[in-house]
């Protein structure tokens, strides 16, 4: 392989001749050969937005020469268009605060800007990654801001639409199934009747509430500590930098980011991120309940609940012919498990802040964006390949409801709790329905019995 020589504050480094990154990136490549995991494009894009905005703000202040600013801006726009992505090569487990990743971006932009100006990669006297590309910035503020930009965008563009789609489909099913009477279950034991539509309406409402929570929590990400540089004081920023850089970021993203009320709090804490992950934790809990309920309700088909049938999407066994499993619900459970693990890692990293900075930003960035990604993809797949095709087994639902001894509850106001309990016990022992037992014992006249044991009426609450 052919190499070129670049220099940083520690000395000379050999760089592959065609690489757009430079000395500090190469050192990080050598130092952090850990997982092979890389930052997603959403994060790279956020970094490029920040660098572009900074170049514009520095040019407006007269501190960055126009031709250098234009070259850096053009290079950043190439990255935003999806070019040069193979140049972001660093492992997510790297130097604290993301200094290596920040320099990876700075060096790529500097070297591409050199080319755009007619020079060779590595000519740091023309375009310097620190002095020019990183002007008015620090890793400490730009990396933090990139997390907010990337996460907010992914939530708005991917996660919230996915939740909304699932909520709408569950609501549609609740309407479709509203006439179907089934037995309720508490403690996994027979309970009084409920309509299948009512059961699904709970799932729909859970998703509507989660959509509201995530959307509201995400608003806290709109506060960004751009221009705080190293510790929040804004040392080495140019005139009107805060206002100009925020303006450019908002024009690039279409969102309304703003400076925090307290720059130092924004530097030291990741409370905004934790507010978002807290809302997603509630979402995950609801998603897992829905997936697990579907697995129970569809269990069988001959020896389980079999109250609903999930769409068959693939063979379920390599040895048992004809077996079909609830694979989409199983997938969804695993998505939820993994998302919860990511949440735990984010929480631990957020707790690790010390004094003026939390240096655990790389893992917060990667895990937060990963959590949003897998939840969005998992929800979309579950909605399309499972929820949309659910069919209710109305006859089975009705039979279970009629045979449940729990409907003796409806007789309690007339015959008393203890007498109703005796009937429920006897019905189980003799394998009779409550209706059959009451008729046989002539405990109530037919008209009263019909009214009390009207299953639909039992699901409609107080008259």
301 and 442 inside one domain:
no
pLDDT of 176 reads 98
- Whether the CB-CB separation of 339 and 377 falls below 8 Å is answered with no
441 and 316 inside one domain:
no
362 and 426 inside one domain:
no
**Does residue 190 carry a pLDDT above 60?**
yes
The whole-angstrom distance between residue 323's C-alpha and the CA centroid of its chain comes to: 32
pLDDT of 142 reads 98
Reading phi first (left if > 0) and then psi (alpha if -120 to 50, else beta), residue 347 is in alpha
CATH number, domain containing residue 89 = 1.10.275.10
In a domain, 248, yes or no: no
| 5 strand-pairing partners | 14
386 and 414 inside one domain:
no
In a domain, 355, yes or no: yes
At which of 99, 119, 135 does a domain end?
A: 135
Q: Which helix (H) or strand (E) holds 54?
A: helix 41-60
In a domain, 337, yes or no: yes
In a domain, 152, yes or no: yes
Reading phi first (left if > 0) and then psi (alpha if -120 to 50, else beta), residue 172 is in alpha
CATH number, domain containing residue 388 = 1.20.200.10
At which of 100, 135, 170 does a domain end?
A: 135
Residue the block writes with tokens 């509630």: 282
180 and 110 inside one domain:
no
In a domain, 31, yes or no: yes
The per-residue pLDDT for range 4-61, each reduced to its tens digit, is 999 889 999 999 999 999 999 999 999 999 999 999 999 999 999 999 999 999 999 9
In a domain, 360, yes or no: yes
The pair of structure tokens assigned to 312 is: 């068959």
pLDDT of 461 reads 73
173 and 284 inside one domain:
yes
Domain count within the chain: 3
326 and 449 inside one domain:
no
287 and 428 inside one domain:
no
317 is catalytic: yes
33 and 167 inside one domain:
no
**Does residue 167 carry a pLDDT above 90?**
yes
**Does residue 452 carry a pLDDT above 70?**
yes
At which of 368, 393, 418 does a domain end?
A: 393
Of 69, 441, 94, 422, the C-alpha closest to 245 is 69
153 and 88 inside one domain:
no
191 and 118 inside one domain:
no
149 and 129 inside one domain:
no
CA distance 307 to 370: 35
Helix, strand or coil for residue 242? helix
Average pLDDT over residues 77-84: 98
Instruction: Print the domain residue range for 216.
Output: 141-226+262-393
Average pLDDT over residues 116-134: 96
In a domain, 399, yes or no: no
In a domain, 251, yes or no: no
From 9, 210, 269, 317, the catalytic residue: 317
């Amino acid at each position: 392989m052919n190499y070129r020589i670049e220099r940083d504050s520690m000395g000379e480094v050999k760089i592959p001749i065609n690489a757009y990154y430079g000395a500090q990136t190469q050192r990080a490549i050598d130092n952090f050969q850990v997982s092979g995991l890389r930052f997603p494009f959403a994060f790279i894009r956020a970094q490029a937005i920040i660098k572009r905005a900074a170049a514009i703000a520095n040019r407006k202040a007269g501190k960055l020469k126009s031709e250098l600013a234009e070259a850096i801006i053009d290079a950043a726009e190439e990255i935003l268009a999806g070019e040069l992505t193979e140049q972001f090569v660093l492992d997510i487990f790297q130097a604290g605060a993301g200094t290596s990743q920040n320099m990876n971006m700075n060096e790529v932009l500097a070297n591409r800007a050199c080319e755009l100006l007619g020079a060779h990669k590595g000519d740091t006297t023309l375009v310097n990654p620190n002095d020019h590309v990183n002007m008015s910035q620090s890793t400490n503020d730009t990396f933090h801001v990139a997390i907010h930009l990337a996460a907010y965008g992914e939530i708005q563009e991917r996660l919230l639409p996915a939740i909304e789609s699932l909520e709408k489909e569950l609501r549609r099913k609740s309407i479709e199934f509203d006439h179907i009477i089934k037995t309720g279950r508490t403690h996994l034991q027979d309970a009084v009747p409920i309509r299948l539509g009512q059961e699904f309406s709970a799932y729909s409402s859970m998703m509507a509430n989660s959509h509201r929570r995530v959307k509201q929590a995400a608003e806290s990400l709109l506060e960004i500590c751009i221009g705080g540089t190293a510790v929040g004081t804004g040392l080495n920023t140019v005139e009107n930098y805060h206002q100009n850089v925020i303006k450019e970021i908002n024009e690039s993203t279409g969102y309304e980011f703003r400076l925090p009320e307290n720059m130092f709090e924004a530097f030291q804490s990741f409370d905004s991120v934790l507010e978002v992950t807290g809302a997603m934790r509630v979402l995950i809990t609801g998603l897992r309940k829905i997936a697990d309920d579907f697995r129970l309700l569809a269990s069988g088909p001959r020896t389980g609940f079999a109250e609903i049938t999930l769409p068959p999407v693939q063979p379920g066994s390599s040895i048992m012919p004809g077996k079909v499993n609830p694979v989409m619900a199983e997938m969804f459970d695993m998505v939820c498990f993994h998302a919860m693990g990511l949440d735990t890692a984010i929480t631990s990293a957020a707790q690790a802040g010390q004094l003026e900075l939390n240096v655990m930003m790389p893992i917060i960035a990667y895990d937060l964006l990963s959590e949003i990604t897998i939840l969005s993809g998992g929800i979309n797949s579950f909605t399309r390949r499972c929820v949309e095709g659910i069919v209710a087994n109305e006859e089975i639902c009705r039979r279970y409801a009629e045979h449940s001894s729990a409907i003796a509850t409806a007789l309690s106001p007339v015959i008393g709790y203890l007498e109703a309990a005796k009937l429920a016990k006897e019905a189980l022992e003799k394998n009779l329905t409550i209706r059959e037992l009451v008729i046989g014992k002539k405990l109530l006249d037919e008209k009263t019995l019909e009214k009390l044991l009207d299953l639909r009426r039992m699901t409609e609450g107080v008259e």
